[in-house]
Amino acid sequence: MILEDRIQADVSTWRERVNRLTKEHGDFVISNVTVSQIFSGIRGVPIQVSDISYVDPEKGIRYRGYTINEILSLLPKLPDTNYPLVGGVYHLLMGNELPTMEKALAIENEWKNRSEVPDYVFRIIDSFPENASTMAMYSAAILSMSSDSKFSKGYHDSLRKEDYWKAMLDDSLDLTARSPQIAAYIYNKKYRNNEQIGPNKSLDYAANFAHMIGKGDDPLYADLMRLFILLHADHENANVSAHTAHLVGSALSDIYLSCSAGLNGLAGPLHGLANQECFNWLLDLYNTYQGVPTKQQVTEYIQKTLDEGKVIPGYGHAVLRCIDPRFEAERQFAEKYFPDDEYFRTAMVVFETAPDMLKATGKVKNPWPNVDALNGTLQYHFGVTQSDYYTVLFGLSRMLGFTCHIVWARALGKPIERPKALTTRLLESMIAEEKKQEATK
């Protein structure tokens, strides 16, 4: 299998590099953690090393060292399409190599061969109450496939530790192959009167998803999904969802248990749910002024949101200190294909207004838009108007990143994660002790 061969070719070199770092530089101090870092969500504390992707605060995400613009231009594209094959993205992230068209297609084919979803998964989705959130359904559906895990079976048989990653990779390909149909099933169940559309194996990963949610007639929507999946595939391994998936995987939980846990983190409003909140906020802004608002009206509306103690969704970031290049890529897509879309124009007036207002608060560290500022607007344009589904689209994409980090963690033999928790009293006495020692100097 192409990805197994690719990883196998590199894995001993990576293991040597990691072993050398721990053996020769194990005592090297990377950072001293402050009390305020602990109380502010372990902010900025390096907690692990992963080479799949890295968020450069000033330039945005890099996949295996490549910027979003480089990836968009270098990865193979099918004829008559404008955005790369998802199979190529996975090859780059998992295999650490820019793929040829042949290799990208080999992964697309691998997915087609593994795409059959067991019937019990659909029954689990069907058993949810009508008001269930789409993310709860999606996460449960992924979780339910744990019983199919080849890693779990191998672990309880006689799989050797150095081969764990091979079984994890096998499971990862199954999971990522099945996931689009599961996501589509949820969409059709909730929003298309349960009119299900089966997969079309002549289509690539993104176009097949578009087809399964009833958007097969519009080739531009397939291109949007190629772009969307590419942009959301990974964002470093320390954000809430990726880190959760990694943490659970570190206990040698299988890929389904780990990715379901990651999705639950993604479902939070400060993380993946922001894309739906952002669009709802934008829609409300548009409806309040019954059309594309002026800059003055947007200023009033943002002020009202801030006065209510709420955040401006789609703006700010825990790590980025620049305009998110993923926002830029989405902006370019909309400007090219539907510059006059009224929701897009509304989003652009917000873009002209929000950063200065956020800077003026004096506390927002990054006043610039993140990817969520436009996600919903693009989907809405193509008739995917159900904002409570947008986080599922994010999850479908992010599963690529989750699985890459987990496979490589097993390939490099990363141990179970177990940081340390202190008590308030312990912390107070550590500080008091330090002060006492300083006074006696």
Contact 412, 96 (CB under 8 A): no
Of 204, 223, 234, 372, the catalytic one is: 372
Write out the H or E segment, with its range, that includes residue 237: none
User: To the nearest whole angstrom, how small is the minimum distance from the Cβ of residue 93 to ligand HAX?
Assistant: 18
**Shortest-Cβ-distance residue relative to ligand HAX:** 316
- In the complex with ligand HAX, which residue's Cβ is closer, 159 or 311? 311
- In the complex with ligand HAX, which residue's Cβ is closer, 184 or 266? 266
Return the residue of 168, 259, 267, 312 that touches ligand HAX, per CB under 6 A. 312
CB atoms within 10 A of CB 430: 12
> What is the pattern of x (binds ligand HAX, CB under 6 A) and - over residues 356-385?
--x----xxxx---x-x-------------
**161-169, 211-219, 314-322, 327-335 -> range binding ligand HAX (CB under 6 A):** 314-322
- In the complex with ligand HAX, which residue's Cβ is closer, 47 or 270? 270
**28-36, 57-65, 84-92, 311-319 -> range binding ligand HAX (CB under 6 A):** 311-319
Contact 376, 282 (CB under 8 A): yes
Rg (CA), the chain: 23
Of 317, 324, 381, 405, the catalytic one is: 317
Of 271, 324, 381, 405, the catalytic one is: 271
Q: In what order do the strands lie in the sheet with 66-67?
A: 53-56, 60-63, 66-67
Write out the H or E segment, with its range, that includes residue 223: helix 219-232
Residues 6 or more apart whose Cβ sits within 8 Å of residue 313: 274, 277, 278, 281, 372, 373
- In the complex with ligand HAX, which residue's Cβ is closer, 95 or 401? 401
Q: How many residues bind ligand HAX (CB under 6 A)?
A: 19
Positions in 249-288 near ligand HAX (CB under 6 A): 270-272, 274
Between CA 70 and CA 265, with CA 72 as vertex, the angle to 5 degrees is 100
Q: How many whole angstroms from its chain centre is CA 156?
A: 31
In the annotation, is 317 catalytic? yes
In the annotation, is 271 catalytic? yes
- In the complex with ligand HAX, which residue's Cβ is closer, 293 or 314? 314
- Residue 173 to residue 308: CA distance in whole angstroms: 45
Write out the H or E segment, with its range, that includes residue 183: helix 164-191
Positions in 316-355 near ligand HAX (CB under 6 A): 316-318
The greatest distance separating any two alpha carbons of the chain, rounded to the nearest whole angstrom, comes to 78
Residues with active-site annotation: 271, 317, 372
**Site of interaction with ligand HAX (CB under 6 A):** 270-272, 274, 311-318, 358, 363-366, 370, 372
